[in-house]
Amino acid sequence: MSTHKLVLIRTAVIAAVVALCACAPQQSYDLMIENGTVIDGSGSAGSETDVAIADGKIAAIGDLANAAAKRRIDATGLVVSPGFIDMHNHSDDTLLDEPNCESMIRQGVTTMVLGEGGSQGPRHPGGKPWTTLGGYFDHVEQKGVAANIASYVGQTQVWTYVKGDEMRAASDAEMEKMKQEIAAAMEQGAMGLSTSLLMPPSSLVTTEQLVELAKVAAKYGGVYSSHIRDEGEGVFDSVAEAIQVGRGAGVRVDIIHLKIADKALWGRMPEVVGMIDKARDEGLDIRANVYPYTAGQNNLRAIIPPWAHDGGNEKMLERLRAPKTRARMRKDILSGLPGWYNHYLATGGGWEGMLLVSFSNEKNKQFVGKRMSELIAARGGDPVEVLFDVLLEENGGVPTVFFHHSEEDMQLALKQTYTSIGSDGSAISPDGPSGKTHPHPRWYGTFPRVLARYVRELKTLELPQAVHKMTAMNAEKINLLDRGLLKEGYWADVTVFDPETVADKATFEKPQQYPEGIPYVIVNGEVVLDNYKHSGSRSGRVLRGPGHKAKAGSSPVSD
């Protein structure tokens, strides 16, 4: 064959290939985020590249300048990271009233982990259109929600469901019933068992009983998340108990908002860290989460000693009305009781260390956002007697911020390789049902505060490390195997922020303020926060745990 003929054949082949390529459909994506610095959540440094999203998932990462997309977001100068996973969130109820989850979405949160102590199931009929945790999940799916949710089954919930509020030990038969309820919740999709051991009646559970209950969660691949029994004088014993549960049940442990909340013990966080390090060196999987503030939120009723809670709220109110029991409570508050975390003493014995969040009684609403010391001064009289009177007027409860731990201790906890971020807040909005309350600023500012104060300003953490603590670390902790990383095939939960301007605006004085510097948040591939405006999208999903058993003829909402 002549050279001329070979050239003609080669030319024809090339032309045919070019023609075929021209006719082949080009890859087209739903959304392209281009020119941003991608920090993928693994802890690795970022790089400037593009992220393509299709069918709700990360479809490609790389130089995609020539690829087609229905929409493009220019992220020049911005960081593109996985959506933040809030390891400790209390939006169980608020998301039903405010499914747009504004205060969380605007922080970059795309997944909220619910169910500390008190979860949404099991519950007795009445008051809610569901009786099980699975029923709650179904309800949320039908209603729609902007962020993904996951939930533990709460030990307090199970305890009171089985045996009520009476202050007595659980019988063997009741323990067996509790195990059955935990197993049922795990099969409905719970991520594990969570405890809130600080307050009665669940504080009556013994360490041995916790081990037995946690074994049930472990059997289904769940974890043990624990608000420990005492964050003050008994913090060392309480951390030791969490470790003991992990060892006895063979379960991963996550200690809820690790801190030392007692002025008398400030500076001793290295001892707590040492305890956890030792357990981890022994092969136990002990972890913790932290919020970046030096105050926590509970309730004024937490100042009332445990024995006075026997029988529930109505019984406590009866004791508050009786002079004899008031006198006994007063003595215990001022002097303390062995084994009881006393919020009054933890703040240093000063009422100025308590900020009042909300009231139901009209006469007290003028003190929203004020310190308890200001209310006492306005009322006059004995401070403890004023406390009792206010609790009676407020039907036994006043949400309260307590200033009780130190910056140095908090930062040491934050820096540990096994600590992640959880807000301990709820999803609300200034214009919603909770808009006139005075919540802890963490409800609006936790995640941007980490990025602004503890990365950019104080350099406590490096940026990739902080992103890892807010994303992949939390996903891995509860076995979310397809979230928490920007990785092809993973669900497209994405947060885009400006590392130079991202900041929390919420303060203890003015908490109902959205953060700045987070223009875009994407949940399951849909843009929920679009150039700082909520799109109204409710693309969140219920993320069920590894023990979930789908109903016949259906499939899990997310895997």
* CATH number, domain with residue 12: 2.30.40.10
Give which of 419, 453, 91, 443 is closest to 297, Cα–Cα: 443
Residue 9 is predicted with a pLDDT of 47
**Does one domain contain both 1 and 129?**
yes
Q: What is the pLDDT of residue 1?
A: 52
Here the tokens at position 302 are 């937490």
Residue 395 lies in a domain: yes
Buried b (16+ CB within 10 A) or exposed e, 165-194: bebeebeeeebebbbebbbbbbbbbbbbbb
What pLDDT score does 202 carry?
Answer: 86
Does a structural domain hold residue 296? Answer: no
Question: Residue 546: CA atoms inside 13 Å, Cβ hemisphere, count?
Answer: 18
Separation between Cα atoms, residue 319 and residue 309, nearest integer Å: 9
In DSSP notation, 495-521 reads: EEE-TTT-B----SSS-----BS--EE
pLDDT at 10: 54
Strand-strand pairing, 84-86 and 253-255: unpaired
CA-based angle 185:190:192, to the nearest 5? Answer: 105
**Residue 22: its pLDDT value, please?**
43
Whole-structure pTM value? 0.90
Question: In terms of domains, do 134 and 227 share one?
Answer: no
Looking at the fold, whether 440 and 365 belong to one and the same domain comes out as no
Structure tokens at 427: 């999803």
- According to the 3-state scheme, what is the secondary structure of 433-480? CCCCCCCCCHHHHHHHHHHHHHHHHCCCCCHHHHHHHHCHHHHHHCCC
**How many other CB atoms sit within 10 Å of the CB of residue 402?**
23
Instruction: Tell me the mean pLDDT per 10 residues along the chain, length 559.
Output: 48 45 65 98 98 98 97 98 98 98 98 96 96 98 98 97 93 98 98 94 94 98 97 95 98 97 94 98 98 93 95 96 97 93 88 93 95 96 97 96 93 98 98 93 98 98 98 98 97 98 95 98 98 98 92 38
Residues 31 and 125 in one domain: yes
Where does residue 27 rank: exposed (0-12), middle (13-18), buried (19+ CB within 10 A)?
Answer: middle
375, 431: one domain: no
Task: Using alpha carbons, list the distances in angstroms from residue 118 to 80, 93, 122, 403, 434.
Answer: 35, 11, 10, 24, 20
pLDDT of residue 201: 87
> Does 248 reside within a domain?
yes
- The boundaries of the domain holding residue 285 are 152-255+258-291
What phi and psi values does residue 441 have, to the nearest 5 degrees? -60, -15
Residues 376 and 436 in one domain: no
Do 142 and 4 fall within a single domain?
A: yes
Those residues whose C-beta lies under 8 Å from the C-beta of residue 344, and which sit 6 or more positions away, are: 303, 333, 334, 351
Clarify whether residues 7 and 142 are in a common domain.
yes
pLDDT value, residue 349: 79
**What is the C-alpha end-to-end distance of the chain, expressed in Å?**
61
Task: Give CA separation, 72 vs 75, 303, 471, 486, in Å.
Answer: 9, 54, 24, 17
Distances (CA, A) of 231 to 241, 265, 292, 323, 379: 12, 10, 16, 31, 31
Strands 295-299 and 399-403: antiparallel
Question: What's the full length of the chain, in residues?
Answer: 559
Asked if 123 and 15 sit in the same domain, the reply is yes
* Last residue of one domain, picked from the residues 342, 370, 403: 403
- Element holding 238 (H helix, E strand): helix 235-249
Question: Looking at residue 108, what DSSP letter applies?
Answer: T
pLDDT at site 26: 63
Tell whether 300 is covered by a domain.
no
Helix axes 407-415 and 269-281, enclosed angle (nearest 10) = 20
pLDDT confidence of residue 550: 58
The total of structural domains in the chain comes to 3
The answer for residues whose C-beta is within 8 angstroms of residue 20's C-beta and 6 or more apart is: none
Regarding whether 157 and 65 lie in a shared domain, the answer is no
Kindly tell me the burial class for residue 458, based on how many C-beta atoms sit within 10 Å of its own C-beta (0-12, 13-18, 19 or more). exposed
